[in-house]
Structure 1
């Protein structure tokens, strides 16, 4: 479900970006999401932490998980197709695996099955796009591609950092991190883009931003922090493969982007890769994940 939600975000960004610039879009997205998450947390009887050290950690989480990658992807989609952005953004497990190997840290054991799963997922991503679509990577805006890959690195670091919040309810972590993202993005958008001087965007673009905020950000973040607690960093980021498949499918259905028959075989490999990466974690109780 998280992969479907985040896969749709690439399509929604593509709808909104022609009339709503990236910093303004992200500022609106994270601010609406933060307000919604704070209200839900309060309704559930949860209070936000008061310790400064926790809020400092929330700021890092908000930067890595929301403010920076959202901005990089939104800017990147000004120059490349949403389906290509979705495929390029399927690489967080690669970064997670590399970080785990280099640092010898991480709650998920690096097993042969997971390495195979990562390889299957990458092969599935390539096959989903098809040979013709992948040939366009060299002609797309290089900086836009680098921006989306930079977002992938952020998405790899975010769950590793987010494991420190395992003692907090997912809704509290999501609300705190998103509030910090809003604090970062509101002044940035005001200084760089001065949104009050922009022409009013069409209803379609406004609806896309609202959907991005409420579904792809607020609701998705609660699921995301729950998965960090139960699956760990590599298991959580493995969903990026499925996200790429959904991004391609939705880009084809809604935006008219090309989808080849090879996508069916590619999505099969993607599913196999996700199962290979996450199956060992799913087979253990949630409490056992913290001891890996």
Structure 2
């Protein structure tokens, strides 16, 4: 793994982890589904425009269109929609810790489907789950909203399904186009959902504008492009090792920007989760 790949991976992990904090800020000033629907509309149109300028076209097979729609609903509506909705009632640090289950869930389900997992990977799975349970138990007993926690868990399960079920949406030379189309799918679902369930009362403070602009352009667009380029450069398994940074980075950013308090059990749990994710990805990489 060369220096450029390491820089890309760390940058992706840092951006991905910061998205939970920016979401927490944004939902203070505007309805979550409304924010996301507009975000996906802008990000999607930008991605499609960039792809078109690069010569990419939306020439997809029927199977690829189904994959685009399915992934757009699972990731952009259920996963991100769930995260933004739950951000109204739970801490950003707790959300990023639960979301860190993703690589562990993917590895575990692949193991049930026949992928051979060594003892190191199995220990990593149990360690990661134990770390999340430790933190969740502490936070819930400390007053964290149980409904919000369950929504985040369901959102992570939706993204796990997307990761496992949706394959072959891109032919390899139209990645940015496919990313843009998935975002537009998310916008087309979230907008009517917002109209049906939310009152569009927006407090136009600079914090909202800054958080929305950041989450639209940086986690929404830049991070996606970095991720696909990283996977192209070093492969999906090796790229996924950078996910082990997410619990630490996400908790650190939420603590610095939002002033969210951290207890000793939170720190211990984060370290256990990081070790578990790292063990699983290293074992699978070998």
The interval holding the TM-score normalised by the smaller chain is 0.7 to 0.9
Change in CA separation of 1:182 and 1:3 when aligned onto 2, cut-off 3 Å: same
Q: 2:36 aligns with which of 26, 29, 36?
A: 26
1:212 to 2:215 alignment: yes
The equivalent residue for 1:118 is: 125
Q: 1:16 aligns with which of 22, 26, 44?
A: 26
Mean Cα deviation higher: 118-127 or 202-211: 118-127
> Cα offset for 1:10?
1.1
Equivalent-residue separation in structure 1 for 2:119 and 2:236 (angstroms): 17
Q: 2:63 aligns with which of 53, 62, 67?
A: 53
Equivalent-residue separation in structure 1 for 2:255 and 2:64 (angstroms): 42
Residues 1-292 of structure 1 aligned to structure 2 (within 5 Å): 1-104=11-114, 109-122=116-129, 134-138=137-141, 139-165=143-169, 167-169=171-173, 170-193=175-198, 195=200, 198-225=201-228, 230-232=235-237, 236=240, 240-260=243-263, 268-279=271-282
Which 5+ residue runs of structure 1 have no aligned equivalent?
284-292
Across the aligned residues of Structure 1 and Structure 2, the Cα RMSD in angstroms comes to 2.9
The equivalent residue for 2:8 is: none
Mean Cα deviation higher: 48-57 or 136-145: 48-57
The two structures have a TM-score, normalised by structure 2, of: 0.82
Equivalent-residue separation in structure 2 for 1:244 and 1:268 (angstroms): 8
> Cα offset for 1:274?
3.7
Equivalent-residue separation in structure 1 for 2:264 and 2:53 (angstroms): 47
Which 5+ residue runs of structure 2 have no aligned equivalent?
1-10
Equivalent-residue separation in structure 2 for 1:280 and 1:183 (angstroms): 40
